[in-house]
Amino acid sequence: MKEAIRIQSILDTVYLCLNIIGGIILIPYYLKFISINLYGFWLATSGIIILFDALDFGISSIFTERISKLYSTKRFKTLTDYFFSGLFLFIILSLLILFVGLIFSLFLDTFFDLDLFKEVIINCFKISLLTSCLKLINVGFINFGSSIFKPLYFSLTKIISLIISIIFAIKLLNLDFGLYSLAIGYLVQQILGFFFFFFISFRLIKKLNPTPRWAIKFDVLKDYLFSMKYLFFARSAESAVKNIEPVIIASTLGPNFTAIYVFGKKISDLIYQFVNIFSGASFSSLTNIQQKIKLGDKDVRIDNINKFIFYLSIILLGFYISINNNFLHIWVGEEFKISSNLVPLFGLASLLMIWIQFRTVFHFSKNIFKHVSKVLFFEAISRIVLLFLLINSFGMFGGPIAIIISTSLAILLLEKKINIDFNSAAIFIYIFSTSTILGKINFVDLAIYNIFIKCTIVVILLSLLLVNRKFRENIIRLKEYL
């Protein structure tokens, strides 16, 4: 179990690093072939497609939870039934997403006023829609591998297909395919993944159950659908807020501001994705742990995961707050720098999003779907309302402020009892306050030297935390656990 988490976390980190190449390092290269306004509309319309993810009705979470339980209790024949029936639902729901998305594409120009970019944006939207459908089916295969603690080949396939898609996109850019290059590149990634995931999954099924019944069971579908009625709220919430800020900013402030906003918070988003690798990888293990501990008992492994997620988040976000504007200067240019007061807000918003995501995984592992789904749905609605109100009132500052307010309220509602660890709170204040001060200072004129100096100072400041006995003990315990 622990080995599976380690393998998946390492390979998913490699996958994220490759995404950084496509999502950060190559963006200045993309902008040589694609105008900033066109790229801004691409970001906004991509956010619309993410909204359609709600139409998977939460099948991913319930599929993983059921397969994990059956695998831990060695009921492999029943597991086979849940795999085939679950895969059938993944396919049906992906077709539903495709149908709804094609209808919405008819009104895309009305919503965004695309003007000269109408044809290319709508065509790329349709390509991305097909990509999203294949991605949903692929998620089913990947979750199956994680649930039975066999993530290796799935993660390797993700990495290889991503590398091929990046190369493919660059080739098309150089052939003057423009924005189509990115849309087709992502589609190639999912097509390659689908064929390999299909082959790997069916091999694993044959190993677990040499004589599988290739049938879709009505009672299994009924179990999935019954649970999904609660998870629909959670999925609606996740999809609605996942990339909603670019959509709202593009429709209110314009595509140029959309690009500036997305670039400014890009690193904090990547930190959010990186930490969530560990949250997601722990889901099957947490489910397994919950099966083996008695009601009311505590497990030190759960406390270790809590501490690990918290420390990893605040340390990485501390670096982000300190160096983000210097990084933007090197990455996309001085004209895309954002206010130094906006960066700590992005950092705090990301921390709260990381925490609510991890606590959601934890509660789902305990089979608590109904309450969590309602809280997440409330958070999504409140966040969207606040985003509209605050972005119109405060511009880009309204984005992170809305997230901070909505996620804080949701965390209060999610937990029956919140125990404040004052030592952890003090560490958080120490890291965020010192990083905020560093973010406002430029020691020299060259951005690259500023980054080096600030990173060195952050490392020194973090080293001083070892004076704190409780922090030192926690780090030693985490080291032994990992």
The model's pLDDT over 313-360, given as tens digits with 9 standing for 90+, comes to 899 999 999 998 888 888 777 766 778 888 999 999 999 988 888 888
Domains of the chain, by residue range, sit at 1-242, 252-482
Is the pLDDT assigned to residue 411 strictly greater than 80? yes
Q: Which residues of 167-176 are buried (b: 16+ CB within 10 A; e: fewer)?
A: ebbbebbeee
Alpha-carbon span 118 to 131, nearest angstrom = 20
405 or 227: which leads in pLDDT = 405
Choose the weakest-confidence range: 69-78, 395-404, 416-425, 454-463: 416-425
Which of 10-19, 51-60, 231-240, 440-449 tops mean pLDDT?
A: 440-449
Q: Are 58 and 373 in contact (CB under 8 A)?
A: yes
In this model, does residue 434 exceed pLDDT 90? yes
Supply 131's token pair. 């990509």
Each residue of 273-284: b (16+ CB within 10 Å) or e?
A: bbbbbbbbbbbb
Phi-psi category of 176—alpha, beta or left, where left has phi over 0 and alpha has psi -120 to 50?
left
For residue range 104-139, list pLDDT tens digits in order.
Answer: 888 877 777 777 788 888 898 899 889 988 988 998
- pLDDT for 5: 61
pLDDT at position 109 is 76
Per-residue pLDDT reduced to its tens digit, 262-305:
788 888 888 888 887 776 656 555 655 555 555 444 556 666 77
In the numeric block, the tokens 């729901």 are attached to: 93
Average pLDDT of the chain to the nearest whole number: 80
Q: Residue 161: name the closest of 198, 124, 203, 206 by CA.
A: 198
pLDDT of residue 319: 93
204 pLDDT above the threshold of 60: yes
Higher pLDDT, 11 or 261: 261
User: pTM of this prediction?
Assistant: 0.67
What is residue 295's predicted lDDT score, i.e. its pLDDT? 47
Q: Best-predicted range by mean pLDDT among 203-207, 228-232, 298-302?
A: 203-207
**pLDDT given at position 367:** 66
- Checking if the pLDDT of 215 tops 90, the result is no
pLDDT band for 192, please (50, 70, 90 cuts). very high
Measured at the CA of 172, the angle between CA 170 and CA 176, to 5 degrees, comes to 115
Q: Residue 242: pLDDT band by 50, 70, 90 thresholds?
A: low
How far, rounded to the nearest angstrom, does the alpha carbon of residue 459 sit from its chain's CA centroid?
A: 27
pLDDT confidence tier of residue 219, bands split at 50, 70 and 90: confident
Confidence band of 457 (pLDDT split at 50, 70, 90): very high
Q: Which amino acid is at 233?
A: F
Q: Tokens 């919405």 map to which residue? A: 104
Q: Which H helix or E strand runs over 23?
A: none
The pLDDT of residue 433 is: 93
Q: What integer is the mean pLDDT of 411-440? A: 85
Question: Residue 378: in which H helix or E strand, if any?
Answer: helix 370-394
Distance CA 94, CA 317 (A): 35
Q: How far is CA 6 from CA 11, 20, 362, in A?
A: 9, 21, 18
